[in-house]
C-alpha cells in the first residue's frame, strides 16, 4: 500500500494522476507534463516533495560525526548554509546523495531521498556512535513544498517578511510563510531559482493554498513527478537509482568534487576512494542529444560500430531543446560515432557537455 503525503486530498481535488514512487502515493502529473515543465522554466511550479526524508543530527560533536559518516566536510559549514554531499559504503559505493543543512552550531538536518532515508538514518545512527551526537529520523513530522522557477521569489515574497533577496543559493532560514512557521531553503532540483519549504504536516494544505493563490497572477502551476524528472534531466542532475547507486562511486558519476580528503580525520569509504581520485574511471557520465525523434530511455544500450559501449541512465523529450535527450555512462575512450539501440534500431546521438540547460541569472 502506497503511503499518502499530507497533500493527498489536494492532489485528488486537482485531478492529479497518482502513482507509487518509493512507497509513496505521489502526483505524476495534473494535466500536461509539458505545460507543467514549461511553467517552471517560464514562471513557477509548485511541487509536493513530502516523500523526502529529514534526519536530524544534534549534539556537541554533530559536525564531527557527519564528517566521519559522509564524504563532505560538514563541520566547516556555517549555520544557515547547506551543502550537497553523499553517503557511501566502505567500498565507496553511493548509498544516497544528500543535502545537509546546518541549522545551528549543534544541529544539522540531513535530507535524504525517499527510497533511501531509512537506510541513511540507520547508517548515520551506527556511524555516530563514537561521537557525542544524537541521530533522530523526523521524516514523519515534516511536509516539504517547493516553489521553483524565475517568478518564485516574487510569489514567495507576497507571503513572508523573510529577506529572500539576501538568502543565498544553498542557504536556509527559519521564517513565517502565510502565517505558518517554515524553514525556507534556497535549493531545488529543477535548474531554476526556487525555494523548498520545510513545514509541519498540518500546515501543508493551508500553505499550498496560500502559494496557489499568490502565484496565480504569475502563472504558477502545480507540477508532478514527470515534470520534475524532465527538469532535473535538462539540468544534468543525477537521480539515485539511475545515475547513482551502490555500485558506483562519486568519481564514476563525475562528482568526485564532493569528496573532501582535506578534512581532518577518517571517514567511511576513504580508503576505497582515495586511490581513485587521480585515476580516470573506465566509464563516464555524459549527455546525449538524439538527432532523430525517438527517445533514448533508461536501460537502453549505447553502441559504437555495433558494439555496446555504455547504457542510458535517464532519457526524455526535452521541452527546452526540442529534441530527445539522455544521460548515459559510456566507455571513457568512446565519445564519437555513438548511437542508442532503441528496440533494435541504432539511433544516432551527439555527445554534449552537461547540463543540457542552464538558466539565465
Is 90 exceeded by the pLDDT of residue 210? yes
Q: In this predicted structure, what is the pLDDT of residue 351?
A: 96
Peptide bond just before 71 cis, omega within 30 deg: no
Please, what is the average pLDDT of the chain?
Answer: 97
Q: In this predicted structure, what is the pLDDT of residue 35?
A: 98
Q: In this predicted structure, what is the pLDDT of residue 194?
A: 98
Query: pLDDT digits over 30-46, tens only?
Result: 999 999 999 999 999 99
pLDDT exceeding 70 applies to what percent of the chain? 100
Q: Which three cell numbers stand for residue 216?
A: 496565480
Is 90 exceeded by the pLDDT of residue 348? yes
Q: In this predicted structure, what is the pLDDT of residue 240?
A: 97
Q: In this predicted structure, what is the pLDDT of residue 171?
A: 98
Domain with CATH 2.40.30.110 in the chain: 282-352
The H or E element containing residue 180 is strand 180-185
CB neighbours of residue 156 within 10 Å? 24
Domain with CATH 3.30.1360.120 in the chain: 3-52+141-234
Range 282-352 classified under CATH 2.40.30.110: yes
Per-residue pLDDT band for 152 (boundaries 50, 70, 90) equals: very high
Mean pLDDT of 23-33: 97
CB neighbours of residue 341 within 10 Å? 17
Instruction: For residues 10 and 12, give the distance between their C-alpha atoms in angstroms, rounded to a whole number.
Output: 5
Distance separating the N- and C-terminal Cα atoms of the chain: 43
Q: In this predicted structure, what is the pLDDT of residue 242?
A: 98
Query: pLDDT digits over 226-235, tens only?
Result: 999 999 999 9
Instruction: For residues 152 and 134, give the distance between their C-alpha atoms in angstroms, rounded to a whole number.
Output: 35
Is 80 exceeded by the pLDDT of residue 361? no
For residues 282-308, one letter each, b for 16 or more C-beta atoms within 10 angstroms of the residue's C-beta and e for the rest, the string is: ebbbbbbbbeeeebbbbebbbbbeeee
Mean pLDDT of 302-323: 96
Q: In this predicted structure, what is the pLDDT of residue 214?
A: 98
Query: Which whole-number Å values give the CA distances from 144 to 136, 139, 181, in the listed order?
Result: 18, 10, 12
Instruction: For residues 193 and 157, give the distance between their C-alpha atoms in angstroms, rounded to a whole number.
Output: 14
Is 90 exceeded by the pLDDT of residue 335? no
Q: In this predicted structure, what is the pLDDT of residue 251?
A: 97
Per-residue pLDDT band for 334 (boundaries 50, 70, 90) equals: confident
Instruction: For residues 181 and 348, give the distance between their C-alpha atoms in angstroms, rounded to a whole number.
Output: 51
Is 90 exceeded by the pLDDT of residue 289? yes
Helix, strand and coil in the chain, % to nearest 5: 25, 35, 40
Instruction: For residues 29 and 9, give the distance between their C-alpha atoms in angstroms, rounded to a whole number.
Output: 15
Q: In this predicted structure, what is the pLDDT of residue 333?
A: 86
CB neighbours of residue 271 within 10 Å? 12
Mean pLDDT of 153-158: 98
Q: C-alpha angle 300/305/307, rounded to 5°?
A: 50
Per-residue pLDDT band for 344 (boundaries 50, 70, 90) equals: very high
Neighbour-count burial of 159, counting CB atoms closer than 10 A to its CB (0-12 exposed, 13-18 middle, 19+ buried): buried
Mean pLDDT of 263-287: 95
Mean pLDDT of 296-307: 96
Domain 3-52+141-234: homologous superfamily in CATH: Probable tRNA modification gtpase trme; domain 1 (3.30.1360.120)
Query: pLDDT digits over 48-86, tens only?
Result: 999 999 999 999 999 999 999 999 999 999 999 999 999
CB neighbours of residue 278 within 10 Å? 8
Amino acid at each position: 500500500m502506497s503511503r499518502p503525503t499530507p497533500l493527498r486530498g489536494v492532489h485528488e481535488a486537482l485531478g492529479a494522476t497518482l502513482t507509487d514512487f518509493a512507497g509513496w502515493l505521489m502526483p505524476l502529473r495534473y494535466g500536461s507534463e509539458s505545460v507543467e515543465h514549461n511553467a517552471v522554466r517560464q514562471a513557477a511550479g509548485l511541487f509536493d516533495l513530502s516523500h523526502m526524508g529529514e534526519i536530524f543530527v544534534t549534539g556537541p560533536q554533530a559536525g564531527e560525526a557527519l564528517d566521519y559518516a559522509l564524504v563532505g566536510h560538514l563541520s566547516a559549514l556555517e549555520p544557515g548554509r547547506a551543502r550537497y554531499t553523499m553517503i557511501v559504503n566502505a567500498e565507496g559505493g553511493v548509498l544516497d546523495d544528500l543535502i545537509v543543512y546546518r541549522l545551528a552550531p549543534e544541529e544539522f538536518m540531513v535530507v535524504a531521498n525517499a527510497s533511501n532515508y531509512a537506510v541513511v538514518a540507520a547508517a548515520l545512527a551506527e556511524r555516530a556512535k563514537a561521537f557525542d551526537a544524537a541521530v533522530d529520523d523526523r521524516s514523519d513530522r515534516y511536509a516539504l513544498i517547493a516553489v521553483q522557477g524565475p517568478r518564485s521569489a516574487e510569489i514567495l515574497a507576497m507571503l513572508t517578511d523573510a529577506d529572500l533577496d539576501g538568502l543565498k543559493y544553498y542557504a536556509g532560514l527559519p521564517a513565517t510563510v502565510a502565517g505558518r512557521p517554515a524553514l525556507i531553503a534556497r535549493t531545488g532540483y529543477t535548474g531554476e531559482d526556487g525555494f523548498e519549504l520545510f513545514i509541519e504536516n498540518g500546515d501543508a494544505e493551508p500553505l499550498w493554498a496560500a502559494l496557489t493563490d499568490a502565484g496565480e497572477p504569475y502563472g504558477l502551476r502545480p507540477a508532478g513527478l514527470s515534470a520534475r524528472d524532465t527538469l532535473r534531466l535538462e539540468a544534468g542532475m543525477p537521480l539515485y537509482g539511475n545515475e547513482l547507486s551502490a555500485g558506483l562511486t562519486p568519481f564514476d558519476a563525475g562528482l568526485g568534487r564532493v569528496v573532501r580528503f582535506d578534512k581532518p580525520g577518517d571517514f567511511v569509504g576513504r580508503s576505497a576512494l582515495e586511490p581513485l581520485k587521480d585515476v580516470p574511471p573506465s566509464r563516464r557520465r555524459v549527455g546525449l542529444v538524439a538527432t532523430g525523434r525517438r527517445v533514448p530511455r533508461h536501460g537502453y544500450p549505447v553502441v559504437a560500430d555495433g558494439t555496446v559501449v555504455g547504457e542510458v541512465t535517464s532519457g526524455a523529450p526535452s521541452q527546452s531543446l526540442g529534441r530527445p535527450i539522455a544521460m548515459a555512462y559510456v566507455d571513457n575512450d568512446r565519445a564519437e560515432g555513438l548511437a542508442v539501440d532503441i528496440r533494435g534500431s541504432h539511433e544516432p546521438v551527439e555527445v554534449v557537455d552537461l547540463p543540457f540547460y542552464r538558466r539565465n541569472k
